[in-house]
Chains A and B, each alone.
Chain A
Amino acid sequence: AIQLTQSPSSLSASVGDRVTITCRASQGISSALAWYQQKPGKAPKLLIYDASSLESGVPSRFSGSGSGTDFTLTISSLQPEDFATYYCQQFNNYLGGFTFGPGTKVDIK
């Protein structure tokens, strides 16, 4: 199966900060990567698909980039409602199906 790793596992940031989270795949996955935001007690919410496409209704301060094995999620100016855990996810039909990264928790500095 394709493994996803995320760094950092957690970070502390202030409102207005630029935040970057990295996701690395154990094998190349082209641009087939999605990012989710999860708040405590809630279901994950799709933010980015195809590595860089913004899901409808998601604020433009969120952006994604990368292809192959290295991907990033960037929040250009962190807002109070952005404190949450972020997960990356990929799908490979031949290598285990869907996998998620271990998550990156973003909390208040």
Chain B
Amino acid sequence: QVQLQESGPGLVKPSETLSLTCAVSGYSISSGYYWGWIRQPPGKGLEWIGSIYHSGSTYYNPSLKSRVTISVDTSKNQFSLKLSSVTAADTAVYYCARVGGDYGSGSYNFDYWGQGTLVTVSS
């Protein structure tokens, strides 16, 4: 069974960089699939942040692209998110997830999710 677990600071100061890691168990990242980050501000909807392949190929939400870096560490079977220059608007529950679906047709979805971690941006 594929399991994902987010970790990282729950409180980040404005203008600093938010850093989170997603540890994957039950599946080797090196075997394939894209892996992604999604966030959800309190009481609001879901926003995709970006995705990464085991090779390191990335794809970011255009609205966040200038501030986002996603990387992968296949030796530790984990991938990470960095979001720079954060403001209160970046306060959200951050989820990591596996990108499932039909890679041949491009019909993608998120089939396995972490439990999520709340990150608050405040001084």
On whether the two chains bind one another, the answer is yes
One of B9-17, B71-79, B106-114 contacting the partner: B106-114
The reply to whether A89 and B109 form a contact with Cβ atoms under 8 Å apart is yes
The reply to whether A55 and B111 form a contact with Cβ atoms under 8 Å apart is yes
- Give the number of chain B interface residues (Cβ < 8 Å): 28
Given A1-B62, A96-B62, A97-B59, also A46-B110 (CB < 8 A) = yes
A-B pair count, CB < 8 Å, reads 71
The reply to whether A91 and B61 form a contact with Cβ atoms under 8 Å apart is no
| Interface: B95 (CB within 8 A) | yes
Q: Which of B46, B62, B115, B116 contacts A87 (CB 8 A)?
A: B46
Q: CA–CA, A93 to B113, complex, Å? A: 21
Chain B interface main SS type: strand
| Interface: B101 (CB within 8 A) | yes
- Give the number of chain A interface residues (Cβ < 8 Å): 26
In the complex, the 5 A-B pairs of residues with the closest C-beta atoms, listed nearest first: A98-B48, A34-B109, A43-B113, A32-B107, A100-B46
Report A's interface with B, CB cutoff 8 A: 1, 30-32, 34, 36, 42-46, 49-50, 55, 87, 89, 91, 93, 96-103
Besides the contacts A44-B113, A96-B61, A100-B47, what 7 more A-B pairs have beta carbons closer than 8 Å? A31-B107, A36-B110, A42-B115, A46-B100, A46-B109, A55-B111, A103-B46
Report B's interface with A, CB cutoff 8 A: 36, 38, 45-48, 50-51, 59-62, 95, 97, 100-102, 105-111, 113-116
